[in-house]
Structures are given as C-alpha cells and as structure tokens.
Amino acid sequence: MTVGQAEGYAVEAAGLHATIGGSHVLQGIDLSVPAGGVTALLGRNGVGKTTTLRSLIGLVSPAGRVRILGRDVAGWPAHRIIRLGVGYVPEDRDVFAKLTVRENLRLAETGPDMDYDRVYGLFPELRQRSRQLAGTLSGGQQQMLAIGRVLLADRRVLLVDEPTKGLSPKFVSEVVDVLDRVRDTATVLMVEQNVHVVRRLAQRVIVLDHGQVVHTGEAAELADENLVRRLLGVSA
C-alpha cells in the first residue's frame, strides 16, 4: 500500500516493521483508519496490537511509513506527533502514581485555557479526588484519569489501548459511554478484546495476526460467530 494517496484517512501505515527485544513483532503492517468514528484493532494476545499503537506515535521506532492527519510522521519524536492533536491512552493506564489527579491532568495541558470542566463533566469523580495521589485510585478511577487526561485538550485522533481491560461492569459502562460521545468529535483507533464493546462502539475492524493485518472490514461482520472464532479464537 502507498501511504498518502488516499483521502479521508486520519491514520495510515505502510510496511510497518518493529523489533522489540529481538522479537520481530510487526512484520509489515498496512492499515488505514478513516477519519471519524471508531476503528477497532483486534487480534489474539501477542500479535502486535499494542506495538502498532506505540509505533504510530513514535514510542517504538518502526521501519516503514506512518501518516497521521495528513503528515508523514515516521521518525518524528513522540511528543511532536502527539502535538498534531493525537491522544494516547495506554493499556495499563500509566497514570503517574506519585502525582495527584490534578497534577496528572496538568501534565496534559497544551495551553493556558484548558477545559477542565469538560473532563470533570465526563468524570465527576476526578474533581472530587483532584488532590488524591493517582496511585491510590482504583483501576476504574485510574482509567477515568487516563482517558480524562487526553480529553483535556482537543484531540483529533485518539489511540486507546484496551480501555475496558480489568474493569468492573460499572466502569466498563462508564468508559464505553464516554468513548461513545468522543467518537463524534475525534477519530478513535481502539485495541479491545471485549467483542461486545467493539460491537457497541466500532464501525470498522482491523484484525492482526503474527504482526500483519489479516482482515479489514465492517464491525457488523462480528455478528458472524464463525468469523469471530476464526479471526480471534473466541466466541462472540
């Protein structure tokens, strides 16, 4: 695939290769994420989903081409890619445990007039706990903080890695509701293992296996149990 020719894509990658610790994790990823809505990045454990997200924003240095919001960003440092208007919510939340909730949010400021009310409106609990150390929050609260942190500034692209992993049903519902609202204003590329969440949020799916894209299609296809079992090795 040639990156940069197609119009209307928020994120594109071509021939993406990445090696981590001697393991050839990405073996020529080609993908295109249309602008707007939610695209789910699916696959079994260890097929390279997280490495793909990290490669797109420069946290892993891949070989190949990456284009985000119309800019060729291969080789750019991560902070420069993020400043294009990209938000990243990592798999393990990665809130700063020794910083307060407010300080975690403050780190995400991109200017003087940040919309804290928007974040606190989405997650009222964060306002109540603004002086609490992030390391003392529950897993669900940390996920709220990780998502709230990227929503503080305007993001045109969100890369979200397993946002519901390890959360109780209450928090899963809350996180899904927020992502449901966010998809109206940003392009979301989401790694997610929970097929029900994918069906609820995503319009498109990209499936990886052994470091390569093996399927691209509509999320509605996940209604086909046989397809889900064949691609993901699980029952829907």
The SS3 of residue 18 is strand
Helix ranges, 48-138 (H)? 49-56, 78-82, 101-107, 116-122, 124-128
Q: Which is nearer to other proteins, 13 or 205 (CB)?
A: 13
Query: Going residue by residue from 157 to 196, which x/- string records binding to other proteins, judged by CB under 8 A?
Result: ----------------------------------------
CA distance 222 to 215: 12
Residue 79 tokens read as 């902070």
Q: Which stretch binds other proteins (CB under 8 A): 11-19, 26-34, 53-61, 179-187?
A: 53-61
Q: Considering the rule CB under 8 A, would residue 107 count as an interface residue with other proteins?
A: yes
Continuous segment of H or E residues that includes residue 65: strand 63-68
Q: Of these, 10, 40, 42, 57, which contacts other proteins (CB under 8 A)?
A: 57
Cα dist from 29 to 12, 14, 16, 95, 216, whole Å: 10, 6, 5, 29, 12
User: C-beta of 104: minimal distance to other proteins in Å?
Assistant: 8
- In angstroms and rounded to an integer, the radius of gyration of the C-alpha atoms of the chain is 17
Q: Are 32 and 178 in contact (CB under 8 A)?
A: no
Report d(CA 138, CA 187) in Å as an integer.
28
Q: Could you say whether residue 97 binds other proteins (CB under 8 A)?
A: yes
Question: Which one, 69 or 236, has the nearer CB to other proteins?
Answer: 69
Q: Does 131 bind other proteins (CB under 8 A)?
A: no
Choose which of 99, 133, 227, 236 interacts with other proteins (CB under 8 A).
99
Q: Does 77 bind other proteins (CB under 8 A)?
A: yes
The yes or no reply on residue 94 touching other proteins (CB under 8 A) is yes
Q: Which of 49, 65, 67, 149 binds other proteins (CB under 8 A)?
A: 149
Where on the chain is the footprint of other proteins (CB under 8 A)?
Answer: 57-59, 77-79, 82-83, 88, 90, 94, 96-99, 103-104, 106-110, 149-150
